[in-house]
Amino acid sequence: MNKKTVHLIKLSVGTESVEQLTEWQSQRAKLVPDGQYYHQTRMWPKRVDELLNGGSIYWVIKGEICARQRILRLDEKFGEDGVRRCGIVLAPEVVPTVCALKRPFQGWRYLTPEDAPADLPKGRAQEDALPVELSRALADIGVL
């Protein structure tokens, strides 16, 4: 039987662009001994095998899913308070995706491969995104 894949979707709070996300993560990675970026969360995902079977974190920036990073592994981390947390170790490459509107939510959610937006072709990664208002209007009439 083939193993299934599942992704996570997470808000990138305070981030204005994919470029800013990439730069911020690069700076954070310099602060850890192994030089890898990880996103720390309080909850440990229950669908570990599916996440580690090619899963990614899809980042929501300013109300739109617009980038993803492949999940490499999950590391156990402990905060200064001694509480066990999950360190989601991510590949350094941030891959721009077709933008997709997403309402705010707390924490993270699972995302099926069928519902995940496609990666942008390499030549289109530098194109400006549609204004959010236009994206919403197009989504409302079923074009996006």
* pLDDT classification of 92: cutoffs 50, 70, 90: very high
CA distance 100 to 12: 14
Number of other CB atoms surrounding residue 138 within 10 Å:
13
Q: Looking at the predicted structure, is the pLDDT value of residue 122 above 90?
A: no
What digits encode the pLDDT tens for the residues 1-60? Answer: 568 999 999 999 899 999 999 999 999 888 888 888 889 898 899 999 999 999 999 999
Looking at residue 140, its pLDDT comes to 59
What is the average pLDDT score of the chain?
Answer: 86
Question: Domains of the chain: which residue ranges?
Answer: 7-140
Q: Looking at the predicted structure, is the pLDDT value of residue 66 above 80?
A: yes
Q: Looking at the predicted structure, is the pLDDT value of residue 114 above 90?
A: yes
Looking at residue 103, its pLDDT comes to 85
